Structures are given as C-alpha cells and as structure tokens.
Amino acid sequence: MRLFEALVPLKNHLALQKHTTLGLVPTMGALHNGHLALVERAVNQNDLVVVTIFVNPTQFDNANDLNAYPKTLDQDLEKLSLFGEKVVVYAPEVEDLYPETTKSEVYDFGELEKTMEGGSRKGHFQGVATIVEKLLRSFMPTKAYFGEKDYQQLAIIHALVKQKELPIQIVNCPIIREADGLAMSSRNTRLTPKQRAIAPQVYQALLQAKEKKGRFSIEEIIDEARHFFHQSPDFELDYFCIADATSLQPLYGKKIEQEARAFIAVKLGEIRLIDNVKF
C-alpha cells in the first residue's frame, strides 16, 4: 500500500501501473469496519483501488463539527495496509483539492436535496457533490463505492453522475452494524460510554416503525417515534421520515405501494447520528 499526499504524483503512479479497472473509495478517514467493507469489495472487483482520506470542509455547515471530526491517519493506514499492493491511499491537505478557494460548486438536485439531511444541514450536499465530482474527475474510476448509511448522499451522487454524464458505476454498499445494531460511523467514537449504551435505540426505533407497517398509518408511526424520543432527555430528534426509496419524498397514509425507506437523524449530546432501513 502506498500513500500519496498530492494528486499529480499519484496520477503519475497510477499511469505506470498495469490495470484495466480502477475502484475508488472516498472517505473522510477514522476508518471503521463499514469503510473496510467498501475497500474489500473494491479490491475484489478491481485491479487497483484508490482510497481517499480527506475531511472535506465544504460539506460542513458548522466549524465545531468540522474541527471535532476524528482524525486517525496512522491507524487508518495500518488498517489499509492489510489489503496489500492493490490499494493506493490519497490523503491530501485542503490546498491540493481546493487550490484557489474552499467553496462549493453550485448544483441543482431539485427536491432530492431539500428534505432530511439537505433540510437540516445547509449547503451539505453542494459540498458533498463538489468533492465527489473533483475525486471522480481526478481518477475517472471504473466503479466508486459508497455506503447506504448515507442513503440520501448516495441518491445525490447517482444524480450527480447522471447530470454530468460521468461514465462511472456507483456501487451502493449495505450498512455495516455493530453487534447491538448501531450503524457504524466515525462519529460513534465521540460518544460517551453512557451515550454509546443508548445509541442502539436509534436503530431499534427504525425496526419498531417497520414492524408497524401496514397496521398503522405513516403519520401514526412517525408520531410514536417522535413521542419515544421526546420522552428520552438524552436524545434530540431532528427528523423521522418514511420516504419513497428513489425520490426520497415523504410518504403518507397506510397503504404503501412503492419501495420505501425509513430515515432518522438524532442528536445525542453533540453527536449527530443518522440511520435508515428498508421499510
């Protein structure tokens, strides 16, 4: 495994490596088993794999959140070294990816970016699309791998690739969970032991909602979830939403005919957790 901090030498290196397929795994580091599952899949499906480690400033609407984002480069490199020669790591400073100004490009994703994370985190998806487009154009991989925990992000990335006509396959990878059901996330390391003990209730709320499908209306199911989190002083519910799995627009009523997903975002102290399940 080789590490590069600058794009130009990395691209020169890739040009010299014999390969017909290239996988790209964009990450913000603080790697956990969810990331490693993406890398493993990419390694199995491609001759070469670029893993990027970059905490992208333009997708944060809150400076404290950006500064507190965990950075564990040495441990990340140790984990990635287990994948051997096929993996190349790109871990740049901000200037390498934003040489002129640290600003997002402007995209129009319509309704897709107005709900849920897009509604709660101003400019978040403009920042995600900016960095993902930069990375996709820099490497022009055969396939790029993203986790379904950030399901709305995945929908935005599919829309981006379509709008920009990029000939790259976006591979959706399933959520990897801890034994108690908590979706793996780099932010979990910032939970206190008490918060970590109750964090699996986020996934449980999604499962309870799913279990009520068809017997109760979506409005009733959401009310119950709201009530549950309202009662618990440790949690601050941002949204609980049941939406069409493709358009991500909220659904109502009892009879759901299309493919749907249940989504949740809560704050546990300072830490924002998101999760989703097929509904």
Name which of 61 and 220 has its Cβ closer to ligand PAF: 61
Q: Does 131 bind ligand PAF (CB under 6 A)?
A: yes
Q: Does 128 bind ligand PAF (CB under 6 A)?
A: yes
Name which of 22 and 128 has its Cβ closer to ligand PAF: 128
Q: Does 56 bind ligand PAF (CB under 6 A)?
A: yes
Name which of 97 and 222 has its Cβ closer to ligand PAF: 97
Q: Does 104 bind ligand PAF (CB under 6 A)?
A: no
Amino acid (one-letter) located at 76: D
Q: Any idea what the Cα angle at residue 34 is, between residues 30 and 36, rounded to 5°?
A: 75
Of residues 149-168, which lie at the interface with ligand PAF (CB under 6 A)?
A: 150, 153
CA dist., res. 125 & res. 160, Å (int): 11
Instruction: Say if residues 244 and 260 touch (Cβ distance below 8 Å).
Output: yes
The least CB distance from residue 150 to ligand PAF, in Å, is 5
Among the listed residues 109, 168, 158, 162, the one whose alpha carbon sits nearest the alpha carbon of residue 137 = 168
Decide: helix, strand or coil at residue 35: helix
Question: Helix, strand, coil: what percent of the chain each, to 5?
Answer: 45, 20, 35
Only one of the segments 23-31, 41-49, 165-173, 205-213 lies at the binding site for ligand PAF (rule: CB under 6 A); that segment is 23-31
CA dist., res. 86 & res. 206, Å (int): 38
**Where do the DSSP E strands lie in the chain?**
2-4, 22-27, 48-53, 87-90, 143-147, 169-173, 235-244, 260-268, 271-278
Other C-beta atoms closer than 10 Å to the C-beta of 271 total: 19
Q: Does 130 bind ligand PAF (CB under 6 A)?
A: no
Name which of 46 and 56 has its Cβ closer to ligand PAF: 56
Q: Which of 13, 19, 35, 158 is catalytic?
A: 35
Q: Does 34 bind ligand PAF (CB under 6 A)?
A: no
Only one of the segments 26-34, 98-106, 110-118, 168-176 lies at the binding site for ligand PAF (rule: CB under 6 A); that segment is 26-34
227 as an active site residue: the answer is: no
The least CB distance from residue 4 to ligand PAF, in Å, is 17
Note the residues at the interface with ligand PAF (CB under 6 A).
26-28, 56, 59, 128, 131-132, 150, 153
List residues with catalytic annotation: 35
